[in-house]
Structure 1
Amino acid sequence: QNKVKYIKQTTAILKQKYGGDIPRTVEELVQLPGVGPKMAHLAMTIAWDQVSGIAVDTHVHRITNRLKWVKKETRYPEETRVALEEWLPRDLWREINWLLVGFGQQTCLPVNPRCTECLNRDICPAAK
């Protein structure tokens, strides 16, 4: 229900304020109803071919914590984004989301991860 409401509100804002296009900055994108940092960074990459930050969703958040890619465990995706951006080379920011989302949906599941079939099991600190 919220998504429909957000889409309607956002459509009106985009028509009125942006001539039917989308904003060109993360700061403006996150002002739109229902748009958070993850979606803003994805939109910047896809729409404007500009890598403004890492798009961290629940899968990227979970996997990078399991792999200990963050110095200390993070509780929220936005914390994870900041921690990853501190060390991950910027030229990898674009693809980390695409690479880890599918992996998180198929193998590194939130509950009962498929560690025995995972090719990373020998190097993963969380492998069972």
Structure 2
Amino acid sequence: MERNKKEYAVRIIKILEEDYGHVKCALNFSSPFELLTAAILSAQCTDERVNKVTENLFKRYKSVEDYANADILELENYIKSAGFFRNKGKNIIKSAQMVINKYNGDVPQTMEELLELSGVARKTANVVLVSAFGKSEGIAVDTHVIRIANLLELTEYDDPVKIEKDLMKIVPKKYWINFSFMIQTLGRRICKARNPVHVFCSLNKICPLLQK
């Protein structure tokens, strides 16, 4: 491990940019509220599964008003395969109602306001801010980022909020938007939780796990 974690973090980023610098949000959406909905559904669910769910969901519900007035049982039926569908269904409807009642139907564009919505934690808020509005108020920390940030010894925590704080200290702000995308893509394609493909990992020469 290099002594200067900021330099180490930038080195990681520069290497990843060669392979994953072009990647964007893996969730499919055509409006900020669709992204918010997909991000809520993505909790403890793969993006691939969420995209399958939203393919039909977004055909049925076209506007924020559609979600706000949705029949909970019907909505649950659409999102069932995403897991935890009862809580997610309630959160989607409540968030839609709040967006209408408090923000005139527009998804808010600040971390503070997004965190007031049902089912929205910092990871979800970061995803919406970055991919819907091009804003970076933090670093989205999902299961891939949790696992790989620990493997790379960028943090020693398992808690997403503490990990985000660690990463925000060492990752320059200009990279906050792309950092999560690149780490997540690395996690999906190469550095998998099960059977990681070390030989094809662009970080294999500096990864602490492989240097031991």
- Using the size of structure 1 for normalisation, the TM-score is 0.89
> 1:87 and 1:53 mapped to 2: Cα distance?
12
> 1:95 and 1:108 mapped to 2: Cα distance?
17
Does 2:190 correspond to 1:107? yes
Which of 125, 134, 138 in structure 2 is aligned with 1:53? 138
CA RMSD for the aligned pairs? 1.5
> 1:93 and 1:41 mapped to 2: Cα distance?
10
Aligned to 1:81: 164
- Residue 17 of structure 1 and its aligned partner are, at CA, apart by 1.1
- Residue 55 of structure 1 and its aligned partner are, at CA, apart by 1.0
Which of 123, 146, 149 in structure 2 is aligned with 1:38? 123
Give the counterpart letter for 1:20 in structure 2: G
Aligned to 1:4: 89
- Residue 47 of structure 1 and its aligned partner are, at CA, apart by 2.8
- Using the size of structure 2 for normalisation, the TM-score is 0.56
Identity of aligned residues (%): 35
> 1:5 and 1:114 mapped to 2: Cα distance?
39
Q: More deviation in 117-126 or 85-94?
A: 117-126
3-state SS of paired residue (1:127) = helix
> 1:3 and 1:21 mapped to 2: Cα distance?
20
Aligned to 2:202: 119
> 2:158 and 2:136 mapped to 1: Cα distance?
24
Give the counterpart letter for 2:160 in structure 1: P
Q: More deviation in 48-57 or 78-87?
A: 48-57
3-state SS of paired residue (1:35) = coil
Equivalent pairs counted in the alignment come to 126
Higher relative contact order (CA 8 A, sep 6+): 2
- Residue 4 of structure 1 and its aligned partner are, at CA, apart by 1.6
Q: Which blocks of at least 5 consecutive residues in structure 1 are unaligned?
A: none
- Residue 83 of structure 1 and its aligned partner are, at CA, apart by 0.3
- What do residues 27-67 of structure 1 show as CA deviations (whole Å, max 9, x unaligned)? 11111111110111121222332211111111111111101
